[in-house]
Amino acid sequence: MKKLTVLLMAITMGASMLISTAHAKFEPKFTVELSDTKVLGNPELTFNLEFAADDEEIGNFIGYIPKGFDIASDEDIPTTTDPAGREQGEVIGSGDIEIAGGPGCHPSFPVKEVKGPIPVPATFYERERTDEEVDKGVHAVWFLDIEPANRVRLLVTGSKKTGWKIEGAPTPSDATCNPLSATFTISAESESGVPILTNAKKPGPKKFMADIVSQDSPAIAHFEQVITLTK
């Protein structure tokens, strides 16, 4: 009888895990905006992200900017240091994030409701490329500092002729979890006045895309958005 009870418990727990997995979803929302849609304009670039409480966590972000647009290179933006002499890089953007935080975010904590929304400011810095990144053809590094929650090194690759890819993965954390809403803006210019993004010279529809990868499964959410440039 004891063995039968243990077996039933194991079957029940296994079924429960299957149900939990089946109910997991990955349906984030994503949009992109340009503050200036004129040809050869110098806009702010804004990404909007939103994850529901029952969405799987984000594992990686890949944004695509169409060909014809230009992005400032690592060499274009001067290197700066903090008061202690450590490399900091010029500020090139900022963000506002609201994410859940608390013991309930930890997978082993039994009461998932023990968490609450936390506002977290974010800052983008332009960082020097490492030798390895230079060898791999990285054009620029956009360092997203979400103090104290996370830091993401976004690598910009590609060219004006072929288009651009912006990719970076947050470090997994059991201290925070969904729901998450975030707005990230790359400024029109760096602190020293270097234009970060320059629009294409030809007017017409331009397709921006993004792939957001789940941390918890092979799921990938793909987004496409057309922004029309005008003369």
Q: Where are the domains of the chain?
A: 27-229
The torsion angle over the Cα atoms of residues 80, 82, 88 and 92, rounded to 10 degrees, is -70
Question: Which tops the pLDDT comparison, 7 or 154?
Answer: 154
CA–CA dist 42, 4 (Å, integer): 70
pLDDT at res. 119: 93
Inform me whether the pLDDT recorded for 23 exceeds 60.
no
CA–CA dist 138, 130 (Å, integer): 9
Q: In the structure, what pLDDT confidence band is assigned to residue 148 with cuts at 50, 70 and 90?
A: confident
Sort strands 197-198 and 116-127 into parallel, antiparallel or unpaired: unpaired
Query: At 17, which helix (H) or strand (E)?
Result: helix 2-23
pLDDT at res. 110: 66
Summarize pLDDT for 173-206 with one digit per residue, the tens. Answer: 888 999 999 999 999 999 999 999 999 999 999 9
Q: What is the pTM of this model?
A: 0.85
